[in-house]
Amino acid sequence: MRYLVDRGGDQVLTSVIPKDRQSLLQFLRYLTVGGCTAVIYFGLLVVLVQFLRLEHLLAVSICYVSAISFHFLANKAFTFRNRDTDVLMEIVRYLCVALTNYIITIIVVYVVVDLAQQSPYVGAALGVAVTLGLGYVMTKYWVFHHKREPL
């Protein structure tokens, strides 16, 4: 997965997958947290859709809120090992990323389920796939990255 990033007027094609060992381990921790988040998300989705018979967009919305709560806490503590105490700023930033990814996910689920007549599970899985790279980059470089002001 590659992204086009603007750095001081120069556009640079950069890879999401890191090249140095420490960053690669961090990315693998991010994927591990993502896998655990997916288990929570899809496990709850099965319960809500199959057993409680909730409408698919409502079910996906409930799953999303539940999953991102876990995702934020696990990424802060485990993936990025962030110990900063400005949690309110991190939550606000994370919610911006989550809202962006939520909108993308809902659009993907709507297109896959309502227009393409596929399963809500396929729609939800594609939503996760589409938002994975954006979530990693924004979480690493914006949510948990604090610039220190000089004294």
Query: Residues 6-51: pLDDT tens digits?
Result: 555 544 445 556 678 888 899 899 999 999 998 999 899 999 999 9
Residue 48 CA to residue 52 CA, distance in Å, equals 5
Helix (H, G, I), strand (E, B) or coil at 5: strand
1 pLDDT tier (thresholds 50, 70, 90): very low
pLDDT at 109: 92
Residue 113 CA to residue 3 CA, distance in Å, equals 28
Q: Quote the pTM value.
A: 0.68
Q: What is the rounded average pLDDT of the residues 121-134? A: 88
Radius of gyration of the chain (CA): 17
Strand partners, 6: 11
Distances (CA, A) of 148 to 23, 67, 82, 90, 145: 21, 30, 14, 15, 10
Residue 68 CA to residue 91 CA, distance in Å, equals 11
Q: E-strand spans in the chain?
A: 2-7, 10-15
pLDDT at 50: 95
**Does residue 37 contact residue 128 with C-beta atoms inside 8 Å?**
no
**Does residue 3 contact residue 137 with C-beta atoms inside 8 Å?**
yes
Amino acid (one-letter) located at 136? Y
Residue 127 CA to residue 115 CA, distance in Å, equals 15
Strand partners, 12: 5
pLDDT at 38: 87
